[in-house]
Structure 1
Amino acid sequence: MTKHTYDFGLIGNCAFLGLIGTDTAVRWLCWPRFDSSFVFGSLLDADKGGEYSIRPADPSLEFTSHQTYLANTNVLQTDISTAEGSYRVTDFAPRFPQYDRYYKPLMFVRKVEPLQGTPRIRVACRPVGQYGELALTRRRSSNHIAFLGLEEEIRLTTNIPLTYVLEEEDFVLNEPKYLVMTYGAPLEAPLESTAERFLRSTVDYWRTWVKSTSIGSFQQSQVLRSALALKMHQYEDTGAIIAATTTSLPESPGSTRNWDYRYCWMRDTYYILTAFNNIGHFEEMERYFHYIVNISTKVQDRYQPLYGISGQSKLVERELPLAGYQGNQPVRIGNDAYTHIQNDVYGQVLVALLPLYVDCRFLDPERLAPEKLVYDTLALIEQTMDQPDAGLWEFRNLAQKHCYTYLFHWAGSHAARKVARAVGNTEMEARAERLMRAAADHIEQCYNPELEAYTNAIGSPHLDASGMQLILMGYLDPASERARKHLEALEKALKTPEGLFYRYRHADDFGTPETTFLICSFWYVEALASVGRVEEAIREFEKLTTYTNHLGLLSEDVDAKTGSQWGNFPQAYSHVGLVNAAYRIAQKLAKPNFV
């Protein structure tokens, strides 16, 4: 079996995201929001997904492609070479400071320039609406084409003769050409000079952002690429960070594990904020805090596992009549996991909000997170202490008393105790300590003396990669014999010969998982570093970097046998895992003798 990789580059400006193929085709772009319908979606259906490409004119001619990012930016360059000549397509979403704010319009800019010879090219531009069900009408103007039928106008402004674009006729590329596509507010400025200015300003913005990133020397280039990818997954308007750019890319071919990941999972809050903190980016942390606090103030009975990017709670799942990625169906939008009971979210919220009280950069925690919020969340932990739940892997037809849930009951109560001490609330401190003890008692009920490890749930014989968090969250002393034995048991049960990790190996609602979950592999690297096996951690980390695509971007899942990428892409949480694992190793390397 050949190795499958996602041969796309990601562009974005914290208002929208797009995936560009190595053949210049825009395979995925949703407007006006991350979770809107695609306007280009050939990733999921070649016929219904529209097209936006700048390909060689003769489709029978062979061509080669080389795709890279401009160093330390999210500006993508794709070089196409044929026997006739070569050309470069530079793709970017403008983003730069302007008038004390960030300028991040719904604008996609493409610059096409000849490099050698006399390349002939053909531009196709056919956006669609309503996930391919709506064909847009076209209106030709003096220097642009308007595409009508959506709530707002899509406009393509270009210095390519409009006839060539409308009729998809080929032409010789003998000078730079520009294509600026907008949703809503159009470009009302000189085309060429404005596009060049936006390009320079966007390059400057990303390079300045990179310079403000605090990272060690360990695997610096890959950490920066992951940080840049993670940054683009934040919907800046609300501060939400989505799990992935896409929907319905299968966890493995034919598995039907095709989910919509364009939402914000509460359970991953702690890991995301840790990643931003580890690379020294306070602004992103603060925006995400605001998003979490805004949701938490609306909670009545329970937190949902996930919310929409604007905080919406109903994310009704439905299937679309689309062909699917490489024929993998169903194609889903929405995610019924919003109805699940996942009780680890309460601890996640408390651990995430802790910096509001203990980080000196936050001067007014009461403005963001009143003590009532901590009280209410502790009450939810107490309420659900003996309640089975779906667990972090979101089992659809199985409820258990999960070890991971109790770990975050413990960690959340631990965080609440720190808050209580910071604000001098002795009653809250006593309640938090009582819940810590109760959670620890439940965790210990998951310990299996024969395996010398903690199983995934009380009374269960199965091990689960999330058990590594017992070490990473500090419940188990990393220097202890119990932590060492626990990690060894997890290795034996879940690690592949390649060093990758399965989430679990027992059957769930859809059978036994066939691919490994990449963030679990990064948790393993962190666990190795934590217990002092630093040289192994470095070796395993370096292996994991071979599972990126040609641009350093990570998927959700990896087939251990072929090294193939599967699952939604790019997966923000895989990049979170990489950043946090690299940080953990760098911290260890900074200490004498890797102590």
Structure 2
Amino acid sequence: MQYKRLDEYGAIGDRNAIALVGRDGSIDWCPFPHVESPSVFAALLDADRGGHFAVRPAQSFDSVQRYRDRTNVLETTFQSAGGSATVTDFMPVDDATGSTDLPPAVYRKLDCETGPLELEVAFEPRFDYARDVPEIEPVADGVVAVGDDERAVLSSDVSLAPSADGREASGTVTLEPGETRWLVLGYDEAIPLEPSKHRETLEGVVDYWREWTHDCDETDCPVGGPWHDLAIRSSLVLKLLLHGDTGAVCAAPTTSLPEDLGGVRNWDYRFNWIRDAAFTVRALSELGHLEEARSYFQLCLDHCRHHDPGSVPPVYGLHGGSDLDERILDHLEGYRESAPVRIGNAARKQHQLDVYGELILAIYESVRYGEAVTTDDWAVMCDLIDYVCEGWDEPDAGIWEMRTDHEQFVYSKLMCWTALDRGIDLAEAADDVDAPLERWRTCRAEVREAILDRGFSERTTSFVRSFGDDDTLDAANLLVSVVGFLPPDDHRVQGTIDATLARLATDDGLVRRYEGNDGLPGTGSPFVVSSLWLVTALALSGRTDEAADRFESILEYASPLGLLAEAVDPETGEQRGNYPQAYSHIGLINGALSLADADDSIDGPPASPAPLGRDESIADVAADQEIVRRQTDTK
């Protein structure tokens, strides 16, 4: 078995588990019962050992994938000399079926369009990241895989037989035009083979996604225009990554997909990063998904309640757990032999100052979109902002989670300023709340002065990576105008954009994250999200044509299904890193929003100097709604 390009995969899920389905009909990645659980299929990380579940024609074939319109239901259509067939893959979502106790499952519906066509089925589960090879035995209407502590039951009206060694099962079926067969994989328990009921389940899942999905007249849509469909697909990816039990945003459903082939920059992203908060809230809110945005920012606040303000972890388990110890799975060779394969993430123990600004900014955005914080929330916020006053000048690991000695990262200081700035705005607009405003204002001025004096280099006419460094760039500083620290037309903002274009950007719109040592060998590929930050910064600056050109160039790297990984190989154009990546899709939506705002402006930059919280003042919001509620029972 060979490795596929990442853009040859589609993603399906039930908002708890997510599987990647190849264009060749093979499920090569699927953890059960949750996205952060050990895998059942992991051929993505070891083509020979990892395990897979494939359905494909017996003859050579061509294939194409598409999602059913405005859903996460995936269709793979095969065309061969013998005929054509479509495999429809989906997972049942509790809200779509009216049940809250469905076992985790993958449904695969086989429809023959022309034929007769012979299809092959290969079922090779490998539990616990392929450390547990189960015994496969026949049962009524299918086979069961039994491991040390896990079992999976494949119900099917395709005849399947275990191999002689009991390590896999396979079968073939010849379908006539118009004929349908089902394969239903239940984790831990069997799902009875009932085709009529399965059709109802599919209809319910399709209705669920379509009822949730943003639907609009494109002329009035905040992301209208040529990239409308990709922005909507991005929202569906985010919904897939929003954990159904907790509302946490899974950064990506995969682990250890490399930033560069053969390198060691392979990380487990199946967790929730606070840094995603503000941009996620805006993206979801602008597309009308206020409930999800509200739940997410509240979840981030709840995490903070359980920690001392000075030791807030930047990343959490999707269920709130703290067992993210980083471990290496030596028995897996890694995607295209890019070892190591890691589970867990050591960033959990890092000190990252930027999370304070990202969290307070998310709360600020939520208030702008109609949410009120409670008095209990306000107390937590005040503790966090008070800590920023005490600790803003500490070195940290930074947004890029450097595995070197801590530095005085400029972006970390920028987000400390943002925490103070938005906290002051909220306190000034709310009635009768306790806040040490004079202390906060004094500290905000100190942080601002430090950033301007020590974070801007006259030599490069740009903001730089760290205090005391006058010649090392960081793409995160493109957000200086996005958070309202400086107006977009300020020469220091424009200098940072131009330096980024000259030194971090490729001609095709891609942007590397930073220059300088990060404690790891090799270099990572350009990141999609930093490339999209450049689009937003250009759009805010009134450089709309440049922004649109770069945006369109970046979108060309999306998969045929509209999915984006973390990074792009600048030499081959292949997607790299974990896939699909929430941060990339959040950046796409916010980039589209920024370009739409720029198009609405007749001359020069848009009327709002920044898209995050500055197009409508909190004072104006406070005139129409309560910002801080006295009740503590309205969460």
Matched, 1:325 2:335: yes
Q: Which residue of 1 aligns with 2:184?
A: 180
The offset of 1:397, in angstroms, is: 1.4
Q: Which residue of 2 aligns with 1:521?
A: 531
Give 5+ residue unaligned stretches, structure 2: 606-635
Q: Which residue of 1 aligns with 2:627?
A: none
Correspondent of 1:312 among 284, 306, 321: 321
Once the two structures are superposed, the pairs formed by residues 204-243 of structure 1 within 5 Å of their partners are 204-212=207-215, 215-218=222-225, 219-243=227-251
Contact 2:393 2:413 in 1 (8 A): no
Matched, 1:374 2:374: no
Q: Which residue of 1 aligns with 2:203?
A: 200
Q: Which residue of 2 aligns with 1:191?
A: 194
- 2 CA distance for matches of 1:251 and 1:94? 32
Matched, 1:456 2:465: yes
Superposed CA deviations along residues 227-248 of structure 1, whole A, max 9, x for unmatched, are: 1111111112011111111111
Q: Match for 2:19: what amino acid?
A: G
- 2 CA distance for matches of 1:206 and 1:425? 41
Q: 1:366 to 1:490 in 2, by over 3 A?
A: same
Q: Which residue of 1 aligns with 2:34?
A: 33
* Residue range with higher mean Cα deviation, 494-503 or 505-514: 505-514
- 2 CA distance for matches of 1:103 and 1:220? 36
Correspondent of 1:408 among 398, 415, 418: 415
- 1 CA distance for matches of 2:103 and 2:361? 34
Correspondent of 1:298 among 306, 318, 328: 306
- 1 CA distance for matches of 2:10 and 2:121? 19
Q: Match for 2:412: what amino acid?
A: T
Identity of aligned residues (%): 33
Superposed CA deviations along residues 186-212 of structure 1, whole A, max 9, x for unmatched, are: 435x61011111111111121222245
The offset of 1:355, in angstroms, is: 4.4
- 2 CA distance for matches of 1:519 and 1:570? 12
Correspondent of 2:278 among 257, 266, 270: 270
Contact 1:13 1:104 in 2 (8 A): no
Matched, 1:155 2:153: yes
Q: Which residue of 1 aligns with 2:86?
A: 88
Correspondent of 2:292 among 284, 288, 300: 284
Q: Match for 1:391: what amino acid?
A: G
Q: 1:113 to 1:257 in 2, by over 3 A?
A: same
The offset of 1:561, in angstroms, is: 2.7
- 2 CA distance for matches of 1:393 and 1:314? 21
Quote the RMSD (CA, aligned, Å). Answer: 2.2
User: Alignment partner of 2:154: what SS?
Assistant: strand
In the superposition, the TM-score normalised over structure 1's length comes to 0.94
Q: 1:472 to 1:356 in 2, by over 3 A?
A: closer
User: Alignment partner of 2:573: what SS?
Assistant: coil
* Residue range with higher mean Cα deviation, 379-388 or 543-552: 379-388
The offset of 1:562, in angstroms, is: 2.3
How many residue pairs get aligned? The number is 586
User: Alignment partner of 1:370: what SS?
Assistant: helix
- 2 CA distance for matches of 1:249 and 1:413? 37
The offset of 1:96, in angstroms, is: 6.2
- 1 CA distance for matches of 2:7 and 2:184? 26
Q: 1:253 to 1:98 in 2, by over 3 A?
A: closer
In the superposition, the TM-score normalised over structure 2's length comes to 0.88
Q: Match for 2:185: what amino acid?
A: M
User: Alignment partner of 1:44: what SS?
Assistant: coil
- 1 CA distance for matches of 2:148 and 2:154? 15
Superposed CA deviations along residues 47-72 of structure 1, whole A, max 9, x for unmatched, are: 32122111223xxx421111111121
Q: Which residue of 2 aligns with 1:387?
A: 394
Give 5+ residue unaligned stretches, structure 1: none
Q: Match for 1:323: what amino acid?
A: E
Superposed CA deviations along residues 371-392 of structure 1, whole A, max 9, x for unmatched, are: 2201210122123222111111
Correspondent of 1:586 among 590, 596, 599: 596
- 1 CA distance for matches of 2:156 and 2:319? 33
* Residue range with higher mean Cα deviation, 20-29 or 371-380: 371-380
Contact 1:94 1:103 in 2 (8 A): no
The offset of 1:568, in angstroms, is: 0.9
